[in-house]
Amino acid sequence: MNRLHEWLRDRLGLEALQHVADKKDVPVHRHSFWYYWGGMTLFLFGIQVATGILLLLYYRASADEAYESVRFLMTQVSFGWLIRSIHSWSANLMIGAAMVHMFSAFLLKAYRAPREATWLSGMVLLGLSLAFGFSGYLLPWNELAFFATKVGTDITGAVPVIGPFMLRFLRGGEHITGGTLTRFFGFHVAILPAVTTVILGVHLYLVMRHGMSVPPSVEGRTPPPPRMKFVPNFLLRDMVGWLAALALLALLAALFPWELGLKADPYAPAPAGIKPEWYFGWMFQTLRVLPAHILGVEGELVGILGIGLGGVVWLLVPFLDDPRGQGPRARFWRWLGVVAIIYVVVFTLLVYRGAKP
Amino acid sequence: MKRRDLLGWAIKLMGATLGGFVLYPLARYLVPPSIPEAVTRRVVAAKKGDVPPGGFKTFPFGAQPGILIHTADDRWLALSAVCTHLGCTVQYKSGDRMIWCACHDGFYDLDGRNVSGPPPTPLERYVVHVEGEDVIVEKAKA
Amino acid sequence: MRPLRTLIASLAALALLAALPAAAAAARAGAKPQNSCLDCHRELDDARLAAPAKAFREDVHGAHGLGCIGCHGGDPTDTDITSMDPDKGFKGTPARKDIAEMCATCHANVEFMKRYNPQPYIFSMAEFRTSVHCKRIEEGDPKVATCTNCHGVHGMLSRKDPRSPVHRRNVPATCARCHNPEYMKGRTAPTDQYALYRTSVHGKALLEKGDLSAPACNNCHGNHGAVPPNTRDISLVCGTCHGREGELFAKSTVKAGLELEGKRGCATCHGNHGVQLPTDALIGTTGAGVCGRCHERGSAGARATDVIVPAFHALKARIGNADSLLDVADRLGMEVEAGRELLKQADDQLVNVRATLHGFDTKQITAVLTEGDGLADQAISQARAALKDWRTRRIGMAVSVVAILLMAGLLVLRIRRLERGAGA
C-alpha cells in the first residue's frame, strides 16, 4: 500500500495537494454545524452522478420507450429499483441540502467580502440543481411528470418579453412532445452536467482559497475561535454525516419506493391536483394565491415579476449588506432572511395542505 | 496499542463490508438481465412446434394479449387479441379462417378487419418473424 | 323612333315574364295526375274524413306514386261525388279480413316490388296465414291486428323512420297497443309481456339506451307470421344473437330434456319477456340458483352440479384472492403488471365458463375451470413473489442501515480518539 502511495506521489506530485490539505483548517464555534452542509450537498451530487450514469445504461429517451424502459429497469434489472429510487430520493435530498446550505450561508453572512463570488457561484449552482430537478422529473414520461412540466413551462411562458421564446426553447415547440423529452434529456445528462462541473469547480476553488467564513457574532470575540484540521478531523465528521445521509437514502428507497405512475397521454385531460415538485412549491403556491388582477396587471405576471425581483435582490445581497456584517443594515438583512425562510417553508407546506387553488 | 489497532481494523473491516454492499448491487445491475429490452415492442411469442398449422396461441405482448395464428397453408400471423368491441380476448376459428370473439359473436378476417358483429374497428396487426425455432412478434413500424 | 321601339320591346318582355308563372302552373296542372279525392277530402269539415287526406302528404306509398285509388278505387279525375261510384271501381273502406290480401297484391308480387327496390321484402300471404292474427281475423274477430294496425295506413312511414310505429324502437309499444290487460280482457292470452319486457335487459337496452341491436317483439316472434315460439324453437331464437350459448346448447345432451315436457329451452332458466342480466347467483342449487329447480337430490344432474358449482365459486374466490394480493403488492410499490396480465387471462376463463355452462358437459366445464384455476394460481404466485421480494428488500435495507450506522459509530470513535489523544 505504502509503496503504491509513494509511486503515485512521485508521479502526480501529490505532495503539493497534501501540503494544501494539511494546512487547511476549519473554525470551531457554536455555528460550525452549518459548515457541513456544503459537503453534504456535494456528496449527494456525487450520488446523483453515479446513479445517473447507471440509469443511462437502461433508459431510453423517446416518448415511445421512456416509460417502458423505466418500467423494465424497475422490474427486470437487478437492483434497478434501488438505483432508480436512490436517484429520485437523492435528488430531493440534494436540493434540500443545497437550500439549507444557502440559507445558513445567508444568515451567517458568509457572503461578505472576499466571498461574494462564492455566493454568486453558489446561487448559480442552486439554479442549476433546480434545472436538473425540473428536467429530470420529465424523463420517466409519466402522467404526473408530463402535466407538471406543462404547468411549469406554461408559467415560464408568462414571463414578459422573453417568456414565449423561453417556452418554445424549453419545449422544443409549442407543445410538450417527444421532442421535449429528447431536449430535456440532453439538458439533464450533458449540458447541465458540463456547466455544473465548471461552476462547481469555481465554487470549490473559491472555498479552498478563502477558507470557511466566520460569522459576525463569533468574529469579534477574543480569543479567536479554535480551529480543527480539515484532514482528518473535519473530513471524518463530514463522512459521519454522509453515512447518515446514505442510511437515510437506503431507508427511503426501501420503505417509500419511487412510484412509476401511469404512462403520459398527451390527449388525456390533466388529472386533479397537478403540482410541481416540492422545491418549486412555494413559487407555485404564491402564484396560486394571487388574485387574477392586481392594479390592472395580471396577477400571475405580478407574481412572476415579484419572485424574479426577490431573486435578484437575494443574489445581490453581498453588495447590499453592511460589509462588516454588523449594525442596523446587517440586522435588517438577517431579519429579511428569516422572513424569507419562513415564507418559503410555509408556502411549500401550503401546497400539500390543499390550499386555495 | 491494541485498542487503536482494533478500532483501525474494525473501521477497515466495516469499510470493506460497506464497499461490498455497494459493489454487489452495482455488479448485479451492470449484468444484462435475462430479457435484453422491454417486451412492448418485440417478444418471442411461441416456439414453432407449439402451434401446429390451423392452430393459434394467445401470448402476452406488453400488458395486453396478442394472438398468434399459424394458418393451414403455413402462414404466420399475429394481431392484437383485444376485441375492439368490449375488450374480450379473441380466438381463431380455423374452419372458417376467421378470428372470432366469443363474447358477442364478433368476426374479423385474417387481416384484422372487423367484418361482422359489434366490433367497430379492426384489430391491430403485428409483424411476425420466424428465427429458427422461435416465432417472434414485433409491433409494426408506424 | 328609338324610344317607341324600346317601349314596345319592354312591354313584350314584361308580358312574357308575367305569362311564365301562369304557363308553368298550367303545365304542372296538366302533367300531374289529377287526384280529386285528396283535393276534396282535404277541404272537408268532418275531421274523420279530412284526416286521411291531410296525413297522406307524408305517406310512403304516396311518395312512390300509389294514390287513393290504389286501395280504394274510384275515378280521380272526376271532381264530383260521382267519383266514388262503385261502377267506376270504388271499393270504399276495405273489410278488415280483406286488407292483408289487398296489401299482398303488391307486396307479395316480386316483379312489382322490384320496381322500387332491387332487394325487396316480399310479403308472404302463406306466412301470414300461419299467424294467430290471421287466423283470428278469418274467424271474424274484430279486435285483432292486420296490416294497417301496425304499419298505419294514411301517412304510413317507412320502418326506418323513427316515427314509424314499426321502427324497431317503437315495435314493443305498437304490439302493446293490443297486448295489454285492458284490451285483452276476457281472453286467455297472457297480457304481461310489455310490462315484463320493459324491465328486461333487452327492453332497457332498446327502449332506454336506444341500442338497436337489442331484440324487439318481432325479432323473437316473427313479423307477419307472429306466433308464440314453439317450445322447440326457443333456443334457436335466442341463439341467433347469443351464438356461443346457442351452439353449445344445441350440442348438449340436455337440450331435448329442456324442450320436452313443457319446459321451454332457454326460458326455463332465464325467463322470456322479463329476461334479466344473468348473475352468478343463478349458478347453484339454492337461493337464486336455477339448477336446483329441476335437479333433485341424488340425480345425475344434481351430482354434476355438486361438482361444478363449488368449483366455479372456488375459481371466483381464487381470482378475488389473487386480485387483493396483487393490490397489496402494488400499494407497497412493487411492480405487478405480469401478475395482472395473468389475472386477466384467468378472468377470461371465468367468462368462458359462464358460456360453457350452456353445454351442460361436466368434462368440458371442468376443463375450463381447471385452466382458469391454473392461471389464477400463477397470478397468486406472482403476487407472493412480489411480496417476498418486498420483504427481502426490507431485510436488505435493515442490514445496510445497520452496517452504515455501525460504520458511522466507528468513525465517531475514531474522531474521539484522535481528538483526545491530540488534545485538540
* Chain A residues inside the 8 Å CB shell of C401: 247, 250-251
Residues A321 and A265 in one domain: no
**Mean confidence (pLDDT) of chain A:** 90
Q: 410538450: which residue's cell?
A: A176
Write the CB contacts of A290 (distance below 8 Å, at least 6 apart in sequence): A299, A300, A302, A303
State the pLDDT at residue C30.
Answer: 47
Residues B27 and B5 in one domain: yes
Determine the structural domain holding residue A343 and report its residue range.
Answer: 275-357
pLDDT digits (tens, 9 = 90+) for C20-40: 555 555 445 444 556 778 888
Tell me the one-letter amino acid at B53: P
**In a domain? residue A17:** no
Tell me the one-letter amino acid at C423: G
* Bridge partners of residue B67, in order along the sequence: B58, B79
* CATH code, domain carrying A32: 1.20.810.10
Higher-confidence residue of A188 and C121: namely A188
State the pLDDT at residue B4.
Answer: 66
Closest C-alpha to C32, from C69, C70, C76, C73: C76
The C-alpha cell that represents C380 in the structure block: 397468486
Residues B112 and B57 in one domain: yes
Percent of chain B at pLDDT > 70 equals: 92
Cα dihedral A140/A143/A147/A150 (nearest 10): 40
**In a domain? residue A354:** yes
Residues B69 and B119 in one domain: yes
Cβ-count burial A49-76 (b if 16+ within 10 Å, e if not):
ebbbebbeebbbbebebbbbbbbbbbbb
pLDDT digits (tens, 9 = 90+) for C80-101: 788 788 888 888 888 888 888 9
Residues A257 and A317 in one domain: no
Q: Are the beta carbons of A19 and A231 closer than 8 angstroms? A: no
Q: What is the average per-residue pLDDT within A166-187?
A: 93
* Bridge partners of residue B125, in order along the sequence: B79
Percent of chain C at pLDDT > 70 equals: 91
Residues A306 and A185 in one domain: no
Q: How many CB pairs under 8 A join B and C?
A: 44
**In a domain? residue A15:** no
State the pLDDT at residue C349.
Answer: 86
Percent of chain A at pLDDT > 90 equals: 55
pLDDT digits (tens, 9 = 90+) for C58-76: 888 888 888 888 888 888 7
Q: Are the beta carbons of B57 and B67 closer than 8 angstroms? A: yes
State the pLDDT at residue C279.
Answer: 87
Q: What angle do CA A51, A57, A62 make, to 5 degrees?
A: 110
* CATH code, domain carrying A300: 1.10.287
| CB-based burial label for C379 (10 Å; 0-12, 13-18, 19+) | buried
Q: Which long-range contacts (CB under 8 A, 24 or more apart) does A224-227 make?
A: A224/A27, A225/A27, A225/A28, A225/A29, A226/A27, A226/A28, A226/C424, A227/A25, A227/A26, A227/A27, A227/A28
Residues A153 and A246 in one domain: yes
Nearest to C410 among B4, B7, B21 (CB): B7
A159 pLDDT tier (thresholds 50, 70, 90): confident
Closest C-alpha to A200, from A46, A50, A27: A46
Residues B83 and B108 in one domain: yes
CA distance C55 to C66: 14
A78 to B31: CB separation less than 8 angstroms, yes or no: yes
**In a domain? residue A1:** no
* Bridge partners of residue B101, in order along the sequence: B106
Residues B95 and B78 in one domain: yes
Q: Using CA of residue A219, residue A221, residue A223, residue A229, what is the dihedral sign?
A: negative
**In a domain? residue A283:** yes
* Chain A residues inside the 8 Å CB shell of C418: 232-233, 236
Residues B55 and B114 in one domain: yes
**Mean confidence (pLDDT) of chain B:** 86
Residues A52 and A186 in one domain: yes
Residues A322 and A251 in one domain: no
- Is pLDDT at C16 greater than 70 in this prediction? no
Residues B50 and B26 in one domain: no
State the pLDDT at residue C232.
Answer: 65
State the pLDDT at residue A316.
Answer: 95
Residues B56 and B29 in one domain: no
pLDDT digits (tens, 9 = 90+) for C342-391: 898 898 888 889 888 888 888 999 999 999 999 999 999 999 999 998 89
A254 to C419: CB separation less than 8 angstroms, yes or no: no
CA distance B23 to C394: 19
State the pLDDT at residue B1.
Answer: 52
Q: What is the average per-residue pLDDT within C256-267?
A: 72
Residues A248 and A287 in one domain: no
State the pLDDT at residue B123.
Answer: 93
How many structural domains comprise chain A?
A: 2
Taking the CA of residue C367 and the nearest CA in chain A, the distance in Å comes to 33
Residues A328 and A191 in one domain: no
How far apart, in Å, do the first and last CA atoms of chain A sit? 63
Q: Are the beta carbons of A138 and A180 closer than 8 angstroms? A: yes
pLDDT digits (tens, 9 = 90+) for A58-92: 999 988 889 989 988 988 899 999 999 999 999 99
CA distance A114 to A116: 6
B13 pLDDT tier (thresholds 50, 70, 90): very high
Nearest to C404 among A247, A254, A255 (CB): A247
pLDDT digits (tens, 9 = 90+) for B17-48: 999 999 999 999 999 887 777 666 778 888 88
Residues B100 and B52 in one domain: yes
Residue ranges of A 67-126 with Cβ closer than 8 A to chain C: 71, 74-75, 81-82
- Is pLDDT at A12 greater than 60 in this prediction? yes
pTM of the model: 0.71
Strands A297-298 and A293-294: antiparallel
Q: Are the beta carbons of A290 and A304 closer than 8 angstroms? A: no
Residue where one domain finishes, among candidates A253, A274, A295: A274
ipTM, 2 decimals?
0.84
**In a domain? residue A339:** yes
Of A109-123, A333-347, B97-111, minimum mean pLDDT range: B97-111
- A273: region left, alpha or beta (phi > 0 left; psi from -120 to 50 alpha): left
Residues B64 and B132 in one domain: yes
Residues A48 and A184 in one domain: yes
A250 to C424: CB separation less than 8 angstroms, yes or no: no
- Is pLDDT at C393 greater than 70 in this prediction? yes
Q: What is the average per-residue pLDDT within C284-305?
A: 81
Percent of chain C at pLDDT > 90 equals: 26
* Chain A residues inside the 8 Å CB shell of B25: 78-79, 82-83
**In a domain? residue A245:** yes
Residues A266 and A159 in one domain: yes
A79 to B25: CB separation less than 8 angstroms, yes or no: yes
Nearest to C335 among A71, A229, A244 (CB): A71
- Is pLDDT at A250 greater than 70 in this prediction? yes
In a mutational test of the B interface, the residue from A76, A84, A90, A262 whose CB has the highest number of chain B CBs within 10 Å is A76
How many structural domains comprise chain B?
A: 2
Residues B84 and B133 in one domain: yes
- Is pLDDT at A48 greater than 50 in this prediction? yes
DSSP state of C290: S
Residue where one domain finishes, among candidates A211, A243, A274: A274
State the pLDDT at residue A311.
Answer: 93
Q: What is the average per-residue pLDDT within A274-300?
A: 86
Residue where one domain finishes, among candidates A230, A251, A274: A274
Residue ranges of C 401-420 with Cβ closer than 8 A to chain A: 401, 404-405, 407-408, 411-412, 414-415, 418-419
- ω before A114 within 30° of 0 (cis)? yes
- Is pLDDT at C423 greater than 50 in this prediction? no
Nearest to B28 among A68, A72, A78 (CB): A78
A356 pLDDT tier (thresholds 50, 70, 90): very low
Rg (CA), chain A: 22
The sheet with strand B106-108 has its strands ordered as: B91-93, B98-101, B106-108, B114-116
State the pLDDT at residue B40.
Answer: 67
Determine the structural domain holding residue B103 and report its residue range.
Answer: 42-139
Residues B29 and B93 in one domain: no
Identify the chains in contact with A, defined as 3+ C-beta pairs within 8 A.
B, C
State the pLDDT at residue C21.
Answer: 55
**In a domain? residue A96:** yes
The C-alpha cell that represents A324 in the structure block: 462588516
A240 to C408: CB separation less than 8 angstroms, yes or no: yes
C-beta neighbour count of B84 within 10 angstroms: 19
The secondary structure of C150-170 as a DSSP string is HH-STT---TTSTTSTTSGGG
Q: What is the average per-residue pLDDT within A322-348?
A: 91
